[in-house]
Each structure stands twice: as structure tokens, then as C-alpha cells.
Amino acid sequence: MKTLIRLLTLVVGSALIFPIASFAAQFDAPYYEFQKKHGAEWAKEDKAIDAKLAALEKKFGKKPNIVYILVDDIGHGELGVQGGGASRGAPTPQLDRMAHEGVMLNGFYSEPSCTPTRTALMTGRHPVRTGLTDVIFPGNPAGLHPEEITLGELLSEAGYTTAMFGKWHLGEGEETWPHNQGFDEALFGLYNAAPWAWNTKGDKNFWNNEKTPEFFTRYKLNGLMEAKKGEKAREVAPLNLKTYTTVEEETFKRSVDFIKRNAESEKPFFLYYASHFVSMFTSHPDWAGKSAQGTHSGDQFMEHDHYVGQLLKTIKDLGIAENTLVVWMSDNGPMYDFFPESSSSAYTGGKGDVLEGGVHVPAIAWWPGMIEPNRISAELLQVTDMYTTAARLGGAMSKLPNDRVIDGIEQSSYLMAVTPSRREYIFHYSGANLGAIRVGQYKRHLAAAHGGLPGKDFYDIYKDPKEEHGVMAEMLWAWVPFDDFARMHNELIEKFPHRKPYKSVIEE
């Protein structure tokens, strides 16, 4: 409690003043208050990291490679190292090994669902700021605004070769697709798994939708797309259940091929491997029935685990492990609508919730020689941090835009030097609305008042991780300070308004 008091004291009654940082980017208001407290310490850490990165660059002749692997709908606790794996009927030996060789990020948080998390990862911003807050389904014109600066664009400008393979899910209009958002090459699907399940093109439908009225199936549905920067995308596989069984295998093969082609290049590479697993409706023939869980979080997750192991082996065999950061993470909690085929979570809630089960997800960082192995940490990280951390490692901090708020906090020192995370707060958005605020170990759900009194909406996440015992009276001292956190956050929104939703151009 004393820790929270110290944290909240920083912002109670504070004027909205933003001191000049060592780079021009505009971060969220509370960041600067914590910077006042920790600035001298952070400067020492940054100096040490700069020296470490400079030595690495001298050894390899280029900035470090960065690989981000994003998996779909895996809840906290599914990995063997988290008590799942074989005990849940689906062993995860490769991901477990990755965790032992790196750091298990047990305090990692996503956005509540897939499109929002992908938006946050690609822009370093909460989706509400970009205007893209909801999951995109066929026919929806929403898409990632062309003026957002993606990781692909940021790192390309910093001299990286970039690739995106897997589930894009950030718009149907081609101007929103990865090859038009900074990636040199891409092999990608536009949606989650649902359209593949009901768009049969002659194959048996997963659901009984054969008699669906034409009005509900009028949309143009793109299958697996391939494109290079500056070229027009083309469909390389139709969208149906049969072709979907090998989508993950092809995504993995393209990822390994990209790494091999660029391992000896003078330029570093950035690979965004966005797995379609585990929200698919059928398994690869070689993996069907391999688990005791079933198709989704069983067979598919075991297949994905195997691919991750092979990808890491490739990096080791090429002799570039010391110069390659790999971060594996889930985009949100389990999709219980697919129960009993869904993943599960050790926490309450699932996909779509700002409850821990929806946003507290598994993640691992692996970087032999640069990240201390056999480490487990519950320090706070949020998916937006991966944007800013990549910018720091890639020498692109000066390229971050300053005409918008960047929510990601740079975390290279935390990953590489075992220093505390620089994140001490999280704003959890539910669509366009602020759903909860986390400060230290405490979390407040922003529920409606009851007769003029606050509800029992405070939770001590360390003592009550399932958010089952909300309290009011004993946390009244924190009510106004939490309000002040929200006030500072909202005042900065007035200065940097959210984008209006972008409508992408969808060809008929």
C-alpha cells in the first residue's frame, strides 16, 4: 500500500506539465511524473544499455534483429512453465525451453481483443487514439489509418529489412495492408478464422450456414494474400477450411526463409510473425489429434510450439542469436465462445474483457547473451511497450512522432539489465471507453456509481488476481488519486484528440 501511496502522490494535484525528455516523442501524462521520480536512475540505466548495444553493433556490424511472434487467443497459464502444457493435455516443450533460456514475462498485458492489440503493437498507441477500436469482420470499412506510423515504417526508415507473415486483421482496404504500411514483404490473412469457417467455396461448411441469405454473404472475402512493398497484392490461396489447415505451416516457412535470406545482410531485419493460431477451426493433418485438448488450444498450439522451436533453432544455427531479440506474446485471453475448444486462463474473464483473463496474457523474451536466462518477472509491461522498445533497439527513438501520444514505454533496460520495469500504470480500454486503471498492484474498474457512492471496484491484483473480492471502504483513500490519473490522461486527450475512425477503400 505504501508503494501505491508514493506513486499516486506524484500526480495528485499536479499541473499538466511535460518536461523536455531526451527525445521529442510525446508520451502519456503520468509517464512524466514517474520520470521526475526516476529520471536520474533511468539515465544511468540508459548509459549502460547504450554501451552494451554499441558493443553489440561493433561485433555484428549492424543494429540487432527483432522478431515479434504474436499468437491468437492464448490465456495466461497455458504454457507448461505456467502450470499448463502437458498437465492440460497439450505439451509446450519449445516455448518452455524459450522461457528457460530467456525471461518469462508474467506481468505482460495486451488489449482485450485481436484487432486492438495488433493496432497497439503496430503503433505503440492505445487503439482508441487511432480510431480503430473494434474487431474487424468482413464488410466493415474500418482500417488502420494511413497516417499512423507502424513498426514496419519506423524500422524501415531506420534501415531495417521488414516482413510480416500471418494474421494482419487491420483492415480490408489495400491501403491498410502490411505492404502499404511499411513492410517490404508480406504473406497475410485479413481476418480472424471465422470467414474461413463459413466461406466454403465447395467445401463442407464448419457451421450450418448453407442457407444463409445472400445479403449476409455478399462481401468480397480475400484468402491468403501475398505482396511486396510498392506492388499490388495477389491472392495465393482461397479462403476455406481445407486451405486453412496449412496456413500456419506456410507462415512458419516464410518466416524461416526470411531469416535465412537476411541473416548475413548488412541490414538488420524486423520480422512480425503473427500466428493464425489458436482461433482456427481445423488442424493440420500432421497434428490433428495430437493433444488431449482438441483442435484449438491443443493440436494447433502444439503445432505452433513446434514451429517456434524450429525458428529459434534456425537463429542459433545461423550464428545470429546474440544479435536477435525474439518476443513471443498472446494478443488477448481465451475466446470462450469456442468452449470447449478454446484456450483457458488462470484468471477471471476472457477475450473482450478488461478483467485479468482478457488482458493478462503469457509472453516470453529471448535473446541469448543479452537477456539473463532462467528469469521470471511479474513487472508490468503492456503491448504498446514493444513498439517503443523496438524503436530504441533499432536506433529510431528520434523518429518517433511528436504530434500524437505514444503510450508505449521503452523497456530495453528492463529486458537486458534486470532493472525494474518503467511501467507503473496501465490504462485498460474496453473499445472506445476507459474500462479500468492499474497503478502498482491495485486496479480500479470504472463501473457506474451506486446512488452517488462508488461501487466495490478496487482490487489488489497480487492478493486477488481473479478479481473476485472488490472493495470500496478500505480503498477510499485511493479514489481521488485514481480520478486524478484519469484526469491527467483525459486532459492530454484534449490536447491530442483521438483520430476519427478511418474508412478504408474496399474494392467490390
| Interval 309-348: pLDDT, tens | 999 999 999 999 999 999 999 999 888 777 777 778 889 9
75-115: pLDDT as tens digits: 999 899 999 888 888 899 999 999 999 999 999 999 999 99
Q: What is the rounded distance in angstroms from the CA atom of residue 18 to the CA atom of residue 20?
A: 7
457-485: pLDDT as tens digits: 899 999 999 999 998 888 888 889 999 99
202 pLDDT higher than 50: no
Q: Report the pLDDT value the prediction gives residue 18, as an integer from 0 to 100.
A: 38
Instruction: State which amino acid sits at residue 429.
Output: Y
Q: What is the rounded distance in angstroms from the CA atom of residue 314 to the CA atom of residue 161?
A: 18
Residue 386 vs residue 90, higher pLDDT? 386
Q: What is the rounded distance in angstroms from the CA atom of residue 266 to the CA atom of residue 161?
A: 10
Identify the band that residue 506 occupies on the pLDDT scale cut at 50, 70 and 90. low
Q: What percentage of the chain exceeds 70 in pLDDT?
A: 89
Catalytic residues: 114, 169
List the single range of 131-140, 211-220, 498-507 with lowest mean pLDDT: 211-220
Closest CA to 347 of 78, 81, 96: 78
Q: Report the pLDDT value the prediction gives residue 3, as an integer from 0 to 100.
A: 47
Closest CA to 162 of 149, 175, 171, 151: 151
Pinpoint the alpha helices (H) of 102-230: 114-123, 127-130, 151-157, 194-198
Residue 284 vs residue 217, higher pLDDT? 284
Instruction: State which amino acid sits at residue 241.
Output: L
Q: Report the pLDDT value the prediction gives residue 17, as an integer from 0 to 100.
A: 39
Identify the band that residue 352 occupies on the pLDDT scale cut at 50, 70 and 90. confident
Is 122:181 a contact under the CB 8 Å cutoff? yes
Residues 6+ apart with CB under 8 A from 437: 425, 426, 427, 428, 443, 444, 446, 482, 485, 486
Residue 194 vs residue 381, higher pLDDT? 381
Q: Report the pLDDT value the prediction gives residue 392, as an integer from 0 to 100.
A: 97
Average pLDDT of the chain to the nearest whole number: 88
Q: Report the pLDDT value the prediction gives residue 298, as an integer from 0 to 100.
A: 83
C-alpha distance from residue 317 to each of 42, 152, 311, 314, 385 (Å):
35, 26, 10, 5, 29
1 pLDDT higher than 90: no
447 pLDDT higher than 80: no
9 pLDDT higher than 60: no
Q: For the whole model, what pTM was predicted?
A: 0.93
